[in-house]
Structures are given as structure tokens and as C-alpha cells.
Amino acid sequence: MPARKSLSIPVGFEAARRLIAGEDVDALAREYSASPHELRDWRDRWERLEHKEAAKQARLALIEATHEKWVEEKVRVWLAARGYTVETREKPTGPDVLAWTDGRTLHVEVKGDRPGHVTAPGTINVDVMTLLGQIVMGEGRADC
């Protein structure tokens, strides 16, 4: 008897999809000329890929929800709701948010995730230095 070729990737995943949908493994094995064990292996691969993709999408959604611009907007809204007068930022330098209440000024450097943090985690150190720089520069400003 000649050796049976294994299922191609598209055919294997199609069989796995049908197996997951509840079709009988023995009937599918006959249809695809494959063993039930091979079909179950394809099903397991499919489920692992689905799980991996779901985890990736959840990670990307979390990153999107913590982008600095989004976080900055939420900080502005939060401060305004608590009676602060929040200034709109005119230039990309200086604190991310300037707010005033009762004659006091609040300088805020927002730190949120950026796409580079996922692909190049070393950029987190740059953000820490930016934050420290904002604190130092804020101490030396006459308008603070």
C-alpha cells in the first residue's frame, strides 16, 4: 500500500473547522482519507492558532487603550471635572497638561504606552528621562 500523503494546510484547517463545528470525526476521516488522530491534530493546531490570535488582539487592544494621547485626554477630563482650569497645549515641548486651581499650577507629564514599547522596550527609558526632564525644567521655570 503506498504511503498516504498528509493533508495540505488549507485542507487540514478546513477539516479542523468542520470537526470543531461538530461533524463526526470518523466520517471526516473517510472523506479526507485521513486518520481520526490526524484530524484531531489539525483541530488542536487550529485551536492553538485561534488562542494565539485572540491573545494578540487583546494585547493590541490594551496597548491602544493606553496610548499617551488617549491617556492625556482622560487626564484633562478628570482634572476639569475636579474644578481645574486646563490649558490647551500649544507646542509639543513642556508638560503635557497645564492646569490651575486656587492659584496653584499643576504640570502633568502623561505617561502612556506607545507602539514602540512593544517592539522596542528600550524606549521606556526615554520616557522616564522625559518625565525627569519635565520635573527638572518645571523647577527652574519662573512661571511655575
What is the per-residue pLDDT for 96? 82
What is the per-residue pLDDT for 114? 62
Inter-residue contact 99 to 108 (CB < 8 Å): yes
Residue 86 Cα to chain centre, angstroms: 29
- Cβ–Cβ contacts within 10 Å for residue 69, how many? 11
Pick the closest to residue 74 from 86, 63, 62 (CA basis): 86
Query: Which residues make beta-bridge pairs with 101?
Result: 104
Sign of the torsion angle spanned by Cα atoms 89, 94, 99, 102: negative
Inter-residue contact 33 to 4 (CB < 8 Å): yes
What is the per-residue pLDDT for 36? 92
What is the per-residue pLDDT for 102? 92
Q: Are residues 51 and 100 in the same domain?
A: no
Q: Are residues 73 and 132 in the same domain?
A: yes
What is the per-residue pLDDT for 2? 45
Q: Are residues 103 and 44 in the same domain?
A: no
Q: Are residues 58 and 79 in the same domain?
A: no
Q: Are residues 53 and 77 in the same domain?
A: no
What is the per-residue pLDDT for 45? 93
Q: Are residues 16 and 58 in the same domain?
A: yes
What is the per-residue pLDDT for 85? 94
Does residue 4 belong to any structural domain of this protein? no
Question: Which amino acid makes up residue 137?
Answer: M
Positions of the chain with pLDDT lower than 70, given as ranges: 1-5, 64-66, 112-128, 131, 134-144
Strand extents, DSSP E, 64-135: 85-87, 97-101, 104-108
What is the per-residue pLDDT for 6? 75
Find cell 522625559 and name the residue.
130
